[in-house]
Amino acid sequence: MTLPPLWIATTRGPVEIVSITEEDPEIRSVLCLSDSFQELPISPLYDAFVRRPTGLIEQITGHSSYRVDLSGPITQGQSWQLGLAVIHLFHAEAQLNSFSLPNTIVWTTGRVTPRGTVQPVGEIVKKWKMTIAELDNKTKKPDQIIVIAHAENIAEVKKLEQMGDSQLKITYLPAASLMDVTAYFELSVGSTLGAPAKTSPRIFKGYFVAGLLGLIGVATAVKLASDFVMPLSRLDAEGRYRELFMELRLLRQEGNWLDVNGAFFFQKHLENRAATLRNNMKVEIRSIKGTNTHCTYRKATITTGTLPEWVHEACQLKLTLGNRYDHPIGIWIAMVSHEATGSPTVILRNHATLPPGQTVTLPTFVMEKSNKIKTVVAIASIMPDSELLPWFNALINDAHPARHMINRIEKSGSGFLFAQATSVRK
């Protein structure tokens, strides 16, 4: 199947979609450099763009996983969304009917919402200048270029063309939604998308007649919040924190007012959850009475960054974990000793999943009497911990972990406890 050349505009030059391949629905969608094993860093965002319930491509095509090869890298932003949505429309149409655009280049830039609405993007001047430079280098010129973008961006391109001296034949397709694209090319696919923005007054008129304007406002607000939160919540629920951090950063840097404020409040939600988990994770340490005169029964609940001095004695110790939260939590905990240099000695490393109100006592261990720094590290989470575990392992290997490592765990919405005893009791 040969699809029309489609260019995604970027500030480093247009990136052409080389191929699109359906993959097994059990695996996630990826963007790759053409004919390579190199997956691009925005692949997780593309997967969320494709797959239900966050994405819209599966809604259009009925398929949930693809590999798309690109002629060059795309590493950030969201203006790639329109180009990939259009190529999926072309790909789906070509599987059903004959579809071609002879000697035509389709040029795209724009964001797309889960409802299929097209939104304007920035850096149009630089993107168009890089496009003209790329066209000048082509030995065979296209018969026409179809520019697909939001009306605001179309106006910017027209202004640039009026100021320039290119002889390109350009057809402009201002798109308020993907339905405008399907209508222009007379595609049979895409009918499951919402109606174009221009038909919405009729919908609202019906509600006005029914006297439900207030309910519309509430429903609209709930829908906007749902469309915004669902992709972030999905990454959070699956414990994909690196992708979550990247998406939040993109929303803050490149999003509109709603995106920026939504990202701020979602991050606050994660930080509040981290504080709640920290406060509801109970960690208690006990010394067991023994033949050593220093070894008497003592008990302390670890609530600050300091361990009791008696952990330095050569006594048998026990750690008890408790869950005071109203949800099950998983706790990773370790007790290690560090010298000024060299690798730490891991005295205890364990994991427990605790239902609400439950406690568990870990196996007894002996702490040697030495000048080493003694450290307890614990992480509590209600989400999958596959990405938390490497961070936990890095922390127990460092007597003085960097602040950014601690911030990373807290920003993931996970409770964090770090306590030390640094001197031997005399």
Per residue in 38-83, pLDDT tens? 888 888 899 989 988 888 888 888 888 899 999 998 878 889 999 9
333, 281 in Cβ contact below 8 A?
A: no
Name the band, by pLDDT with cuts 50, 70 and 90, for residue 26. confident
| pLDDT value at residue 250 | 82
Q: What is the mean pLDDT of the chain?
A: 83
| pLDDT value at residue 214 | 52
| pLDDT value at residue 182 | 86
Name the band, by pLDDT with cuts 50, 70 and 90, for residue 210. low
122, 153 in Cβ contact below 8 A?
A: no
Per residue in 225-235, pLDDT tens? 445 567 788 88
Per residue in 99-136, pLDDT tens? 788 888 999 999 998 888 899 998 889 999 998 888 88
Question: Average of pLDDT values for 338-363?
Answer: 86
Asked if residue 404 has pLDDT above 60, the reply is yes
Nearest to 371 by CA among 399, 331, 395, 393: 399
Q: What is the DSSP string of 251-276?
A: HHHH--HHHHHHHHHHHHHHHHHHHH
Asked if residue 220 has pLDDT above 50, the reply is no
Tell which wins on pLDDT, 135 or 197. 135
Asked if residue 204 has pLDDT above 70, the reply is no
Fold that domain 279-421 belongs to in CATH: Immunoglobulin-like (2.60.40)
Asked if residue 200 has pLDDT above 70, the reply is no
Q: How far apart are CA 399 and CA 406, in angstroms?
A: 13
| pLDDT value at residue 24 | 87
**Which ranges in the chain are annotated with CATH 3.30.230?**
6-195
Angle between helices 213-237 and 200-210 (to 10 degrees): 120
Asked if residue 191 has pLDDT above 80, the reply is no
Q: How far apart are CA 344 and CA 246, in angstroms?
A: 32
Per residue in 297-312, pLDDT tens? 889 999 888 888 888 8
Asked if residue 18 has pLDDT above 70, the reply is yes
Q: Which two tokens stand for residue 197?
A: 């923005």
Q: How far apart are CA 107 and CA 34, in angstroms?
A: 19
Asked if residue 209 has pLDDT above 60, the reply is no
Asked if residue 403 has pLDDT above 50, the reply is yes
| pLDDT value at residue 222 | 43
Question: Average of pLDDT values for 136-163?
Answer: 88
| pLDDT value at residue 425 | 45
| pLDDT value at residue 260 | 82
332, 392 in Cβ contact below 8 A?
A: yes
Tell which wins on pLDDT, 272 or 295. 272
Tell me which of 50-54, 143-147, 151-155, 379-383 is least confident.
50-54
Kindly report the backbone phi and psi dihedral angles of residue 71, in degrees, each rounded to the nearest multiple of 5, phi listed first: -75, -20
Matching residue, tokens 């308020």:
176
Question: Average of pLDDT values for 334-354?
Answer: 84
Q: How far apart are CA 333 and CA 249, in angstroms?
A: 30
Per residue in 161-180, pLDDT tens? 887 777 778 888 888 888 88
Name the band, by pLDDT with cuts 50, 70 and 90, for residue 291. confident
Nearest to 163 by CA among 217, 205, 125: 125
**What's 6-195's CATH class?**
alpha beta
Q: How far apart are CA 185 and CA 318, in angstroms?
A: 71
Backbone dihedral region for residue 71 (phi beyond 0: left; psi -120 to 50: alpha; all else: beta): alpha
Tell me which of 196-205, 252-261, 284-293 is least confident.
196-205
Q: Going by DSSP bridges, is the β-strand pair 170-174/144-149 parallel, antiparallel, or unpaired?
A: parallel
| pLDDT value at residue 423 | 59
Helix (H, G, I), strand (E, B) or coil at 16: strand
Q: What one-letter code names the amino acid at 358? A: Q
Asked if residue 37 has pLDDT above 60, the reply is yes
Q: How far apart are CA 130 and CA 405, in angstroms?
A: 39
**Whole-number percent of the chain with pLDDT over 90:** 24
**Which ranges in the chain are annotated with CATH 2.60.40?**
279-421
What residues contact 248, with CB distance under 8 A and at least 6 apart?
Answer: 232, 263, 266, 267
| pLDDT value at residue 281 | 93
| pLDDT value at residue 229 | 65
Asked if residue 313 has pLDDT above 90, the reply is no
